[in-house]
């Protein structure tokens, strides 16, 4: 998989999509779908933590994965700033090698739509293995 989200993209995301900013109600929508999940949840394409951090603040047990180490570094800074504890890690969504089992995996539509079409099948297959 390729990395297109470096320092500049990370800065743009931080400015245009800060932590907790709902885009057309997406945070509310996904929270409504996940609020009754009692096990761990993985956010694929976690980026800078825009959704992860509010969900952890609301009591969900979540972790995040992203291919971009720059995005993850910003996510860790944002988690520290918002005083939340959680695990985020670097990984390729087409080849998830995760020992943790999750009750749910979420990938917001905006992130999913950024995947190249030829990778979608591999990403969805990869999501199956770490699910409970």
Q: At what angle do helices 7-16 and 69-81 cross, to 10 degrees?
A: 40
pLDDT at 5: 74
Buried b (16+ CB within 10 A) or exposed e, 69-82: ebbbebbeebbeee
* Residue 66 near residue 72, CB atoms below 8 Å: yes
Task: Look at residue 110 in the predicted model and tell me its pLDDT.
Answer: 87
pLDDT of residue 86: 94
Note the pLDDT of residue 132. 78
pLDDT of residue 74: 97
In the chain, which stretches have pLDDT less than 70? 1-4
**Could you read off the pLDDT of 35-50 as tens digits, one per residue?**
999 999 999 999 999 9
- Phi and psi at residue 64, in whole multiples of 5°? -135, 145
């Amino acid at each position: 998989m390729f990395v297109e989200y470096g320092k500049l993209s990370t800065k743009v995301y931080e400015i245009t999509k800060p932590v907790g900013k709902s885009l057309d109600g997406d945070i509310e929508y996904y929270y409504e779908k996940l609020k009754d999940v009692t096990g761990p949840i993985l956010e694929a394409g976690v980026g800078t933590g825009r959704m992860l951090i509010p969900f952890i603040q609301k009591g969900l047990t979540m972790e995040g994965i992203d291919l971009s180490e720059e995005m993850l570094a910003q996510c860790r800074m944002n988690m520290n700033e918002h005083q939340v504890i959680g695990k985020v890690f670097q990984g390729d969504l087409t080849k998830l090698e995760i020992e943790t089992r999750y009750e749910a995996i979420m990938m917001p539509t905006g992130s999913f739509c950024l995947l190249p079409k030829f990778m979608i099948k591999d990403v969805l297959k990869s999501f199956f293995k770490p699910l409970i």
